[in-house]
Each structure stands twice: as C-alpha cells, then as structure tokens.
Amino acid sequence: MTQIELSTHINAPIERCFDMARSIDLHLESTKQTGEQAIAGRTTGLIELGETVTWRARHFGIRQNLSSKVTEFDFPNSFTDEMVSGAFKSFRHEHLFYTVNDQTVMKDIFLFESPCGWLGRLANFLFLGCYMEKLLVERNRVIKETAEAT
C-alpha cells in the first residue's frame, strides 16, 4: 500500500476549509486537467456522511470511473472517503483539519493499493505515486486559494 501525506496551511476558518474540501463543485474545478465529471450519486454541493459520488475522468489516456463513499464524518475536524469501485484495488482518503495560530492546517492522508500485485507496486513506485500526489497538491492549491479569497 502506498501512502501520501500532505499538509496545507490556509488563512481561513476551519469550517470554510472543511466545506471546501468536501465540495463536489470545487473538486471539479481542481481536476479540470483530467476532464473530471461527477456522474452519479452526489454530483454537486457538499458531500455528507454515507453519500457516494462517481467520478469519470481521463488518466493516462484512458477514461475511467471511480466511485467513493464518505465513511467517517466529524464536522469540522475530519472526514474520510473510501473507494467503492474503480481502477485501484483500494483507496482511503482521510481529510483532517486543525486550527494552529489562526490558520487552518488541512492534512491529507491518502492510502492506495494498485491491482496486479508486484506489477502494481512497481507502477506505484515508478510513476503512480507521484501522479496521485500531483493531483492532491493541485486540489489543495485550489482549496487554499478559494478559501483565502472568500
């Protein structure tokens, strides 16, 4: 299993950061480069505990669908989404929020496992881990810019 951890410092209230991190609309804004769409489940607004969303995007030239479900929710401190179906063997994304010195620290813990055994682990090492981290960094940049501008 591959783990990516990121921390983003945002000059905005924790509640605003939490809501922006679970915004379907803002997620779509941050993934324009992959042509991502929300095609089923919650497709707009703020995702809640127990809700699912199915994303369609193009990665590595291949159109893919991925469905995830919010499995844990503690406003405004944390929420977790986990893959229900998609290209990964599994993934779990923990979104954690802390207030530190009048800033919000948004921490991502993203764990994923690729299919295909050793071949999947090799892909993670060679390129997939970096690719996923780049997507998360861009997502966090959009959340930070939007939260600080509001």
Profile the chain (150 residues) by mean pLDDT over runs of 10 residues.
Answer: 94 97 96 90 97 88 90 98 91 97 96 80 76 94 95
H-state helical runs in 5-128:
14-21, 24-30, 117-123
Tally of domains in the chain: 1
Alpha-carbon distance of 120 to 128, in angstroms, equals 9
Q: Helices 14-21 and 129-149: crossing angle, nearest 10°? A: 130
For residue 94, the model assigns a pLDDT of 98
Radius of gyration, CA atoms only, the chain: 15
Q: Which residues span the domain enclosing 107?
A: 2-149
For residue 59, the model assigns a pLDDT of 73
Residue 27 near residue 2 (C-beta atoms within 8 A): no
Alpha-carbon distance of 68 to 86, in angstroms, equals 9
Residues in the chain, how many? Answer: 150
Which residues, including other chains, have CB under 8 Å from residue 123's CB and lie 6 or more apart?
A: 114, 116
CATH of the domain at 75: 3.30.530.20
